[in-house]
Amino acid sequence: MDALTAEGLTRRFGEKTALSRLSLALEQGSVFGFLGPNGAGKTTTVKLFTGLLTPTEGSCSVLGLDPRREAEKVHAQCGVLTESARMYPHLSGLENLAFFGALCGLSRAGARERGEELLKRLGLAEAGKLPAGKYSTGMAQRLSLARALLGRPRVLFLDEPTSGLDPESAQAVNAMIGEQAGQEGVTVFLCTHQLRYAQDLCGSYGVIDHGELLALGGLEDLAARAGCRTYAAFRLAEGETLPGFERDGAWLRRAISSEDEMPGLLREAVAAGRCVYEARIEPPTLEDVYFRFVGRGEGGETV
Amino acid sequence: MKAVRLSAKERAIVRKDLRGIWKTRMVRLTVILVPVLLCFAMPAFYLFLAWMVPETELEGTRELAAMLPAAAEGLSERQLMVVMISRLLGPMFFLMIPLMVSTASAACSFVGERENGTMETLLLAPVSLRQIFRAKVTACLLLSLITELVSLLAFSAVMAAASLLFEVPYYLDWSWAVLILLLSPGVTLFGVTFMVLISGRSKSSMEAMQTSGYLVLPVVLLFVGQLSGAFTLGPGLLLVLSLAVAAADAVLASLASRAFTPEKLLRA
């Protein structure tokens, strides 16, 4: 059974189409990066998957459950972190977790124990007794992540988990997400602007803009479809060149169709008497792929 | 009894809501000040005046009290002042208090939670909408009923003193029984469900509370209307009113539970 499915999922707000005919299926245990600019439809998608919004057309499921009709069961299996879901400001961090732990069906002692464990792992052990209203943005986000993880979810929805965070908080949040993503059977649906982080963490991606899914697949597949190439790059002694290579700052670059071409190119450069200081293969990054798709989307072309 | 027993999750929400409502200064002031002023300070001050002011200066009281059909003949001006408190002011206050406390607490519980961004978090928890609705309504009702009980004790103490000082019968009668046991709880539920219905349209809890202020007006008119002599709020009429409010409660509760959806709750 797939962890998440969407079939022609559409949501309109009056005249505005926030999400248009989204179709996807994610296997259990997959780590999916959902990428797109602000207002692309990422949050709407998360809200549809978690039952906070009703689809205008189409349907979606989480672990085979309908989020609208079986919201309670879906929420028992999911951890959701969104920017707009806040914690109770008058309760301390630990009291917040104890409360949501009770809603997850944990005993009072169990909720407190689990809350303390998560606070410790997210670097909030000392702040656990402070009212959540006094937390900084980073601390509040870490507390929200702790809340999302309380019930040991099988599916984790993370909507911009590190948006606006200081480096320390972002690191703590990313480390915890990485830990969750590494667990067997845990599916992660990550909406983020942090493309480098997403590239390290995710196995597949969706690129969305103006409510339209522009591309779906693994990085290699997306790169091939976007026409992003792999490059061989050399840094030679000043003034030296190589035939077929283009200069890009201190580097000389040339597109290759396979990594297997690299040893031959390196041998040729050395044989030609070039002083090779550095040589590297530059595969397409998620950033290259993302901007290629979003750029095309903005130009009206769908890939 | 099984239908009204709350689950552990619902009880957790009730506890959290009561704490949250109490932490809100505006509601705390309403819950403490309104009953103290209306059910203790004002009647006590009124009776103190009746005790201190010479009877010859209380002639206006007779004219006013004469309009109350229940005004007993042969009572002194001072005794008539006690009757006015027990027949006119007291009952009016005992409808205003549950209405004000229930709407203030419901504004905090429903609209305030959306304002704080915590309604979304609550809706993402593994609890059904029905459970959240029941728990929140229970918290508001509970706070309102506790306030009413404390108010009743304070008012009873003042009226006991009045009964002794002015030699009038104790205030509790069948009208009060219907008022306290039926009409007042009915009005409490009306306040909560009304607030749930308007919560989706209110931008802030303060705006919701201001809107609910219109509900107090009919209560005041109802009691002041007695002075016209057109009707008397005896046990019979109060019972009819209780039934009408109960019917309105049933309709509002049904509408409010239907309006209790994530999209409507998170709107605005």
For chain B, the domains span 20-266
- Which residues, 6 or more positions from A36, have their beta carbon under 8 angstroms from its beta carbon? A42, A191, A207, A208, A209, A294
Q: What is the pLDDT, as a whole number, of residue A78? A: 95
Is there a single domain that holds both residue A188 and residue A59?
yes
Tokens coding B15? 């506890």
The pLDDT confidence band at residue B190, using thresholds 50, 70 and 90, is very high
Residue A218 shares a structural domain with residue A242: no
Assigned domain for A300 exists: no
What span, in angstroms and rounded, lies between the C-alpha atoms of B105 and B101? 6
Do both A247 and A277 map to the same domain?
yes
Instruction: Tell me the chain A residues in contact with residue B133 when contact means C-beta distances shorter than 8 Å.
Output: none
B58/chain A closest Cα distance in angstroms: 51
- Per-residue pLDDT, A296: 60
Q: Does the beta carbon of B129 lie under 8 angstroms from any beta carbon of chain A?
A: yes
Taking contacts as CB-CB distances below 8 angstroms, the residues of chain A near B136 are: none
Q: Which residues of B touch A72 (CB under 8 A)?
A: 126-128
Same domain, A202 and A270: no
Total of domains in chain A: 2
The predicted structure's pLDDT at residue B69: 55
Residue to test with chain A: of B124, B133, B261, most A Cβ within 10 A? B124
Q: What is the pLDDT of residue B267?
A: 74
Q: What is the helix (H) or strand (E) element at residue A252, kind and residue range?
A: strand A251-256
Q: According to the model, what pLDDT value does residue B171 have?
A: 82
- Which residue matches tokens 């809706």? B123
Amino acid A198: pLDDT: 92
Residue to test with chain B: of A70, A88, A96, A141, most B Cβ within 10 A: A88
pLDDT of amino acid B60: 66
Question: In this complex, which of A72, A87, A90 lies closest to B128 when CB atoms are compared?
Answer: A72
ipTM of the complex: 0.88
Residue A244: inside a domain, yes or no? Answer: yes
- Residues A98-119 pLDDT 10s: 999 999 999 999 999 999 999 9
Last residue of a domain, one of A223, A247, A266: A223
Band of pLDDT at residue A299, cut at 50, 70 and 90: very low
Residues A255 and A151 in one domain: no
Q: Give the pLDDT band (50/70/90) at residue B61.
A: low
The pLDDT, as a whole number, for residue B81 is: 81
Residue A62 and residue A195 share a domain? yes
Residues listed for chain B? 268
Sheet holding A251-256, edge to edge: A246-248, A251-256, A230-236, A276-282
Res B266: pLDDT:
82
Which residues from B are below 8 Å from A104, CB to CB? 125-126
- Cβ contact A147–B121 (<8 Å): yes
A239 φ, ψ (degrees, to nearest 5): 90, -15
If you average pLDDT over residues A270-281, what whole number do you get?
Answer: 95
pLDDT at A297 over 70: no
Q: pLDDT band at residue A303, thresholds of 50, 70 and 90?
A: very low
Question: Is B117–A85 a contact, with Cβ atoms under 8 angstroms apart?
Answer: yes
Of the listed ranges A180-184, A250-254, A295-299, B172-176, the least confidently predicted one is: A295-299
Minimal CA separation from B125 to chain A, in Å = 6
Q: Is B118 on the interface with A (CB under 8 A)?
A: yes
Residues A57 and A192 in one domain: yes
Question: Does pLDDT of B8 surpass 70?
Answer: yes
> Mean pLDDT score of chain A, rounded to an integer?
92
Q: What is the mean pLDDT of residues B236-257?
A: 93
Q: Show the domain range for A245.
A: 229-283
pLDDT over threshold 90, residue A286: yes
Half-sphere exposure of B141 (CA within 13 A, CB side): 16
Task: Give residue-wise pLDDT tens across range B85-144.
Answer: 888 888 888 998 999 999 999 999 998 898 889 999 999 999 999 999 999 999 999 999
Q: Are residues A113 and A137 in the same domain?
A: yes
Distance (Å) from the C-alpha of residue A147 to the closest C-alpha of chain B?
9
* A253 and A117 together in one domain: no
Buried b (16+ CB within 10 A) or exposed e, A172-185: bbbebbeebbeeee
Alpha carbons B91 and B176: distance in angstroms, whole number: 7
Closest CA to A231 of A186, A281, A266: A281
What does the pLDDT read at residue B59?
65
- Would A80 be classed as within a structural domain? yes
Phi, then psi, of A15 in degrees rounded to 5: -80, -20
Residues of A in contact with B120 (CB under 8 A): 52, 82, 84-86
Question: Residue A125: inside a domain, yes or no?
Answer: yes
For residues A73 and A198, membership in a common domain is answered with yes
Nearest CA in chain A to B120: A85
Name the residue of chain B whose CA is nearest to A83's CA.
B117
Using CA atoms, how far residue A210 sits from A60, A278, A292, B182, B217, in Å, is: 20, 42, 15, 56, 50
How many Å lie between the alpha carbon of B262 and the closest alpha carbon of chain A? 5
B127 touching A, CB under 8 A?
yes
**Above 70 in pLDDT, residue A302?**
no
- Give the count of Cβ contacts less than 8 A between chain A and B: 72
| A60-66 mean pLDDT | 97
Mean residue pLDDT across chain B: 86
The stretch B37-50 carries a mean pLDDT of 87
Given this model, what pLDDT does residue B9 score?
A: 95
Q: Which of B60, B63, B68, B100 lies closest to B85 in space, CA to CA?
A: B68
Are residues A88 and B118, on separate chains, in Cβ contact within 8 Å? yes
The CATH number that applies at residue A63 is 3.40.50.300
Q: What pLDDT, on the 0 to 100 scale, is given for residue B49?
A: 83
A120 and A260, same domain (yes or no): no
